[in-house]
Structure formats: structure tokens, C-alpha cells
Structure 1
Amino acid sequence: MSNMKQEILKLLKNDRFVSGQEMADRLEVSRTAVWKNINALKSEGYSIESVTSKGYHLTEHPRYISPTALELLVAQSGLFSHMEYLQTTGSTQVEALQKLEHHGGAYIVVAEEQTSGRGRFNREWSSPKNRGLYLSIVLRPNIPISEIIRFNLFISLAISKSIDQAFSMESGIKWPNDIYINNRKVSGFLTEVVSESSVINAIICGIGINIFEDESVGAIPNATSIEREMDGNSHMDLDGFMETLITNIERYYNRFINEPFSAIREEWKARAIVFNKELRITEAGESYMAKALDIDDDGFLEVLDQSGEIRKVISADIEL
């Protein structure tokens, strides 16, 4: 991906006609070079109209994640230093882990399709081509491994708020790693770490979001997609969504590094969908029914089981 494509995309996103000559002059290239890069953007799915004497105008964004737009977001990011865009991979988590030795700092791995996508407890995550967002972010916080519970709570807020802001929805969080809309799961994330002496060297957080309707996702009980839940008049701008998501990830990661969970506890609780409901909780091989009462300042879920005992849940599978 060339920097020229990124610069042309920035010019086109000003929501006005831009002449080929103006772009050529501003970028100090030939009009032929501009034309070639316009065609390259079209091949990524951008609809760009050309009108004589007026120039070029961006009329529609791609219906899948644009590598050029992502590269531009990473170039402007204060956190991420690198982005890898793949058409097909087994798992972005595996790809991200394999690249740890080759990239310092924080980076992103994105794929149009995963053939072996997975979630928590090694469950399959359906990842059909260009139907969802499949990415892994790598962060290097250098913190105690016990802090990973708190990380999940901050990142769940970032994802939930991004969906709501970009698509005018009201999503909720199912502790600890799922995002729901109208009682159906639209997103989940898997957090894995590389650690030494109980200190985290790297967090690899794989995020899957069902964007468009697909038969494989529709066949999964209680699963949904952004497209299914959208207002019919809403506009699907995936470039805008990616900008919102990366901005919120950066914001809430910075808060995670600098603030306790208590700083976002009420905000998180306002989005939680588990409280005062009968839940099936499975942890350490034991399964029991309980009602979620609260979440403490360490991020542990407090539940009341059927025997009347209050338990603290640290890591578990929860069914609504």
C-alpha cells in the first residue's frame, strides 16, 4: 500500500469534488499517478465518481475493511506502529503471536477471512470472507499477569461503545468477553498473554465482530450481526467504524494503564446485561446456577448461588 493512496483517500474524504490536477499539485505527482491510485482505491471497493471540470468525488465506502484506510489510521495512531492486512489466514491470533519477534511496540493484524477462527475455551468463531471484522491487537503493557481481568473490562467498553457510536445502536456487555445486541451475541474477544515471571510481556487480543448477515452466522443460536440489527435508514460506513474502534481502543487502553477499574465501574455496569438474572456458571469443571449481584473493584463478578452463598467469579463461562 502506497502513501499516495492514503493521501488521495484523505483528500477524497473531505466530501467535495477534488480535481485530478489539484491532487497532482498537492502530492507533487503526475495526473497519471493520481488516476492509477484512484483506480487502486476503486479496486478496494470505494465508489468514486469522475465528473469533467469538477474532478473526483467519493460516493460510497467499501462493504468490507479497507487496507488503505486502516494503514492511514495506524499511521495517525499514537499507539499502534504497524498493521498487517491479510486476505485469508487460519487465525489472526496465531499470525499476531508469530510476529512478536519481528515487530516491537503495538500492532494490528487484520484478515478478510479466517479458516480457523476461535474464541474462548477454543470454540470456533465463524469468519466468512468479508462478512465480519477479524483482527488481533498486540499491546505491551509490562504489568502483572493478574491485571488481565481488568484489561478485559476496559476493552469490552471500548468495543461496545464503538458499535453504538458508529451504528446508532445500544449494545450490552456479557461478562467478561462478549458484546450483545437485543439479547444476541454480535461480538466476542479472546485475550491471551505472553508472560515471564508473572509479568506480561505482550497481550494478544483477538476481536471478532459480525458485520454483515451470513448463513453460517445466522445458523448459530443467539448470534446476530450489525446489519441484522441496524435501522433500515442507517448508513454502513466501515471506515468510520474502524476509526471509532481504534480511537476507543487507544482511549480505554490508556485509561487501563493509568486508572483503576473503579474509574469506569459505573460506566461498565450501565452496559452489563448479566445482573439480576439467573445464570449458568461453569468454572473449574463445576457448573451451577446463580444470580449476578455486582462486580467488585478488581473486576470479579459477585454472584448468589442457589444455596444462598455469595461467590466471587474470576474466570468462567456464563450462559444467560
Structure 2
Amino acid sequence: MMRLFYLKECSSTHDEIEKFLSNDTLDLQAVYTFNQTKGKGQYGNSWESGRDLNLAYSVAVPDELIKLPNHLFNFHTAEVLADFLAILTKQIAGIKWPNDIVINNKKVSGILIEKKIIKGRSYFLIGIGLNVLNENFTHLPKAGSLLTQTGVKFNLESLTQSLHEYLVENLTKPVSEESVMEKLNERLFRKDLISVFEIGQSRQNGIIKKVDKDGFLWVELENDGLRKFFHKEIALLY
């Protein structure tokens, strides 16, 4: 059964999804809008979105359907979304650690995942912000949209339906921890390329080597050698 609910406007689909959950089903349940006024990003960041230009989508996945550790399910979700966008755009969709999606060197999508008990059942709440039709990123030089990165004007409604169907079909498919890590490292943005990183107050050249099974990013730094980092401990400046 397709449990996908449209909201004409909301502050955040991630806040609204809880109102639509029904515990009489194990189906994935989702809400979406093309006018989100206060979107949430990972680690307290915000997700900017203009009216009728972008998609804000949140889906609730019952925890009992997922057999992966939490952080690996985060990576698996990013892989599924990257696969969908690669098929849709016929472009390479990379994963910028930990879970942003990049097409042609620009971030087009971000993911927020929280685990929460609602009405007595544990859920993964997955929020996806996808830039679709906006073209003005003068204040966000690392961002882009499907339009700016592919030249294609996708229909927001049909895109949403296709995305939801793809997530419902693929998010809960059995997958091994090994295959999640292998696919993540295959899609890892800027892997094996010289990049500039910000660590604390300093900048340094380095090369991304891998993400390990505990979620750490390993970088070979020009001055400090091979080091591992967790979220927010290092910033990729390209």
C-alpha cells in the first residue's frame, strides 16, 4: 500500500511525519512538500529550500525491518538514494562523507536520519532534502540542483512518486555489512584525489583513503600522515 502524504506547506517534514504514523502496518510511511520553511539538516544544520523548487521528504522505517547497525543503515540509505539519482540523471552520484549526495562536484541532496520511539514502536526517521529546480546558489558555492547539474527540468510530483517507490523497494532489502562498506567506498566523493581539508583552525592537503566499518573517515594528510576522523572533526573544502 502506498502511504505517501502530501503537505502544501510545513516547517519540516521531519517534524510532521510523526502525525501520520499508523502502528497497524509495517509499510514505509512518508510525507513530502515542495514548500518547507524550516528544514533540518544533519548535526544541527539547516536545509534551505524555495517554494516549488525542491523536494522535502521524510519516511518512517520500522526498526524491526532493518538488520544493520545504525550507522551502517545511514550509509545504506545514502547508497540507495545515490543509486536512484544516478539512474534518474544518468550521471555519477557520489557520496560525500557521511551522507550528502554529489553530482558533478555539487551537493544536490542531504540526508538526516534519527531513531525514535513513536507510539510504542521504534522507527528510523529519514529526512531527504533534494534540490531539483533552483538555479541560484551564489551564497552556497558547493551546492547545486538536478537542473544545474544535468540541464533537465524534472517534474516535482512524478520525481517524488518515483523516489518513494524506489526507497520502499530497496531500503529494507537484506544487505550485508560488507557490501554496504564496499559500495560506500566505491561511491566515496574525492576518494584517492588530492583535496584541501580544514581541521580545527588549520588547513592541509590530504587524500581520502576510505571509510571504515565504525564510520570513521581515513585521510592521508600532507603533514600529519594517515589519520581517522569522526563527524565534524574535519571539513572537506575540495
Instruction: Give TM-score scaled by structure 2 length.
Output: 0.80
Cα deviation 1:278-315 (Å, max 9, x = unaligned): 35366xx898755321123444332335422532x343
Question: Structure 1 residues 145 and 158, CA, compared in 2 at 3 Å: closer, same or farther?
Answer: closer
Question: What is the deviation of 1:244?
Answer: 4.0
Cα deviation, residue 132, structure 1: 0.8
Aligned mates of 2:210, 2:166 — CA distance in 1: 25
Quick check: 1:261 aligned with 2:177? yes
Letter of the structure 2 residue corresponding to residue 264 of structure 1: V
Q: CA deviation at 1:252?
A: 3.6
**Aligned residues between the structures:** 230
Gaps of 5+ in 1: 1-73, 76-81
**Counterpart amino acid of 1:173?**
I
The residue that corresponds to 1:242 in the other structure is: 160
Question: Would the alpha carbon gap of residues 247 and 309 (structure 1) be closer, same or farther in structure 2, given more than 3 Å must change?
Answer: same
Give the 3-state SS of the residue equivalent to 2:47 in structure 1: coil
Cα deviation, 1:213-266, whole Å, max 9, x if unaligned, reads 244x453221111111224xx5735555335423432344223xx332312333
Report 1:86-235 matches (<5 A).
86-100=7-21, 105=26, 106-142=28-64, 147-194=69-116, 201-215=122-136, 217-231=137-151
Percent pairwise identity: 24
Using the alignment, how far apart are the partners of 1:235 and 1:220 within structure 2? 20
Partner of 1:28: none
Give the structure 2 partner of residue 8 of structure 1: none
CA offset at residue 102 of structure 1? 7.1
- Counterparts of 1:38-53 in structure 2, within 5 Å, are none
Would you tell me which structure has more helix in proportion to its own residues? 1
Residues 162, 241 of structure 1: 8 Å contact kept: no
| Closer/same/farther in 2, CA of residues 236 and 149 from structure 1, 3 Å limit | same
Higher relative contact order (CA 8 A, sep 6+): 2
AA aligned opposite 2:171: Y
CA deviation digits over 1:85-121, x for unaligned, max 9? 1011000011113444777543101112111112112
Q: How much is the aligned-residue C-alpha RMSD, in angstroms? A: 3.2
Q: Assess if the C-alpha contact under 8 Å between 1:155 and 1:253 holds in 2.
A: yes
Gaps of 5+ in 2: none
Q: Which residue of 1 aligns with 2:188?
A: 272
Question: 1:318 aligned to 2:201?
Answer: no
In the other structure, the counterpart of 1:83 is 4
Contact 1:261 1:299 in 2 (8 A): no
- Report the TM-score when normalising by structure 1: 0.62
Q: Distance in 1 between matches of 2:25 and 2:143?
A: 36
Are the counterparts in 1 of residues 220 and 226 from structure 2 also a CA contact under 8 Å? yes
